[in-house]
Structure 1
Amino acid sequence: MRIVIVGASSFGLAIAEQLIGIDKEVVLIDKSRDLLEQAAEQIDCGMIEGGGTSPDVLREAFRSEEDVCIAVTDASEINILSALIARSIGYCRVIPQITSNDLLRVCHELGLDDVINPHARVAEDIVEALTQGGDPSQQPLLQDSLALTRVTVPEQLAQQDLDLPGEGRVVALIRDGEEFLPEQNASFQEGDILVVLLKRDALGDLEDLFAPE
C-alpha cells in the first residue's frame, strides 16, 4: 500500500513523518518546488512536483488499488477535488482535509465520508476538557506517543526561530481569533496561539519553553 499525501504543509509533513516512522511507503505531492526541497531535508520519501488536482500527477503517484490519497492543502476545495479525482483513478481510500464546516455536507453528498476536520476535533476536545475540569489549553488531543496541544507565544519567543522539543511541528496558528495553516518558516507574534504536534514525552519541555520570563 502506498500513501499519497497532497500538500507539503506542516500538517502534511507531520503525517508523512509518522507514516514513514511505521515503515509505510509515502509519496508527497506539491506544486511548490521550494516546499518539496525543504521537505526533502526532513523526510525521505517519494516526491512529485505538481498540482494535487492534476489527474496525470495523481496517476503518476498511483501504484495499486490498495493506495490511499490524503489531501491536506490549505484549501478545502482543492482537497475535495483531489479526493474525487483520486477516487476516480482507483485509490481505495481518499481522505480530504476540510477546514470549512459548510463543505462537510457537500463531502457527504459526494460520498466523501472519510474526512479530516481539525477545527471540529479541536472544538470537541476543548468541550471535553472543560466538562472534565481540565485546562483546555494544555490538554493533549491525541493518544499513545503523540500529543496535539496549544501554547501561547510569550514576548521572549516573538519573531524568533522556534526549536521545538519532541520533533514538534506547528500545525495551526490562531491570531486575533483567525485560524491559519502556517508556512514552514513562519515567524510568530507575542500572543499568538500555536497548535503543536509533538512526542508526548516532550510536553513538559514544551511548557517550559513557552513559559513567560
Structure 2
Amino acid sequence: MRAVFIGTNDLTIHTAQLLLEGGHEVIIVESDRKRIDDVSETLDCAFLHGDGSKPAMLREANPKQTELLFCLTSNDRTNIIASLIGRSLGFGRVITAIEDPEFEPICVELGLEDVVVPMQTIGRYLADVTQGIDILELSTVIKGEARFFRFVLADESIHHVSDLDLPNEAQVCCLYRNDCFALVEHNTRLCKGDEIVVLTHSRNLPALNERWHSE
C-alpha cells in the first residue's frame, strides 16, 4: 500500500512509522526543509518539499497510484483544502484531521468522508473509560465491504427515510440533529440540516457520493 502524508507533526510521525513497520510505502509532503531534515533522521521514507495544499505539489505524489492521503497539518483550513484537492486528483482515500470540531459538519457537507478530530476522539474515549464502558473497536464490527456514509440533508422536500430512495444494501442507521444523536426508525421525520448516517455496501459509495455530495 502507498500512503502520502501532508505535514510532519507527531500524529504523522507515529502513523507513518506504523505503516513503514507494516511494509508499506510512505511519502511525506512538507514545506519546511529543516523539518524534513529532522524527520528524515527518524523515518526512512520519501519526502517531497513543497506546499501540500497546492494541486501541482499533490500531482507530484502520483495520486492515481496512492491508496491513502493523510492531511494532518496543524492548520484545519489547510487540511480541508488539501483534502478537497486530493479527492479531485484521484487519491484512493482521503483522511482529514481537524482540531476544531466546528469544522466537522462543514467537512461532511463538502463530502469528506474520513474526518478525524483527534482530541475529541481521545476525550470521548477517556470519558467512556471513567464510566466503566467497554469500548468495542469499530474495526471489529464493520468488516468486509460494509461502509458508513454520511451526508447533510439539504433537500426540504424529503421528510421520511423512504424519500431518500437509497440503493439496495444501504440503510439509514442514525442521524444527528443539532449535534444530538438519534436512532432512525421507519416513522422518523427527517429535517433539513440533519446529518444522516447510512450503513451500506462499498459498491454503493460512488452513487451515494454523486447523489448527496454533488448538490
Q: TM-score, normalised by structure 2?
A: 0.60
* Equivalent residue number for residue 8 of structure 1: 8
Distance 1:67 1:113 in 2: 15
Q: CA 1:78 to 1:63, structure 2 compared with 1: closer, same or farther past 3 Å?
A: closer
Instruction: State the percentage of identical aligned residues.
Output: 29
Distance 1:3 1:66 in 2: 6
Q: CA 1:66 to 1:6, structure 2 compared with 1: closer, same or farther past 3 Å?
A: closer
Please state if 1:76 is matched with 2:73: no
* Equivalent residue number for residue 100 of structure 1: 100
Gaps of at least 5 residues in structure 1 are: 134-140, 144-213
Partner AA of 2:53 in structure 1? T
CA contact (8 A) 2:4 2:26 kept: yes
* Equivalent residue number for residue 58 of structure 1: 58
**Hey, which bits of structure 1, 4+ residues long, moved more than 4 A?**
none
Please state if 1:39 is matched with 2:39: yes
Question: How far apart are 1:65 and its partner, in Å?
Answer: 4.9
Pair member with larger Rg: 2
Distance 1:107 1:64 in 2: 23
Partner secondary structure for residue 47 of structure 1: strand
Q: CA offsets per residue over residues 75-111 of structure 1, 9 Å max, x none?
A: 1110011110011111011011011111000000001
Distance 1:120 1:45 in 2: 30
Give runs of aligned pairs for residues 1-213 of structure 1, distance below 5 A: 1-132=1-132
CA contact (8 A) 1:2 1:63 kept: no
Distance 2:92 2:37 in 1: 29
Distance 2:131 2:10 in 1: 31
Distance 1:106 1:34 in 2: 33
Partner AA of 2:113 in structure 1? D
Distance 1:34 1:66 in 2: 26
Distance 2:12 2:49 in 1: 15
Question: How far apart are 1:64 and its partner, in Å?
Answer: 2.4
Specify which structure has the bigger relative contact order, considering alpha-carbon pairs within 8 angstroms and separated by 6 or more residues.
1
Aligned residues: 137
Distance 1:64 1:51 in 2: 19
Partner AA of 1:24 in structure 2? H
Measured on the aligned residues, the alpha-carbon RMSD in Å equals 2.2
